[in-house]
Amino acid sequence: SQTIHQWPATLVQPVGSPLSLECTVEGTSNPNLYWYRQAAGRGLQLLFYSVGIGQISSEVPQNLSASRPQDRQFILSSKKLLLSDSGFYLCAWGGQQNTEAFFGQGTRLTVV
């Protein structure tokens, strides 16, 4: 069966520090991969999605970037965190043929 792993679960980082959140999927190949940010009252905002290795689409201009170095690995990064980057980040995967998205447990990021 397919599983998705996202870590860490919580993270506290100082302003200006770098960020790297990792997400890996097991049990499937060539998935669509997604990074979302969830804020109270604002739902899930799609940040990045990827349909294949090295193929990244950015949905909103921001201080973050994403990379997909391997088929089932999706990384969310920042060179210098801002206070406004605080939030709950969710990784998800979906099949290539019209399937739903399956979510990881999420990472609570607090920038101090």
Quote helix, strand, coil % in the chain, to nearest 5: 5, 60, 40
Part in contact with other proteins (CB under 8 A); list of ranges 11-19, 60-68, 71-79, 92-100: 92-100
Closest CB to other proteins among 45 and 67? 45
In the list 46, 56, 67, 86, the residue contacting other proteins (rule: CB under 8 A) is 46
- Work out how close the CB of 44 gets to other proteins at its nearest, in angstroms, rounded to a whole number: 4
Q: Taking the C-alpha atoms of 51, 54, 63 and 11 in order, what is their torsion angle to the nearest 10 degrees?
A: 80
Write out the two tokens for 87: 């939030």
Closest CB to other proteins among 41 and 69? 41
Part in contact with other proteins (CB under 8 A); list of ranges 18-26, 51-59, 63-71, 79-87: 51-59
Q: Is 11 in the site for other proteins (CB under 8 A)?
A: no
Q: Cβ distance 65 to 5 under 8 Å?
A: no
Q: Cβ distance 29 to 4 under 8 Å?
A: no
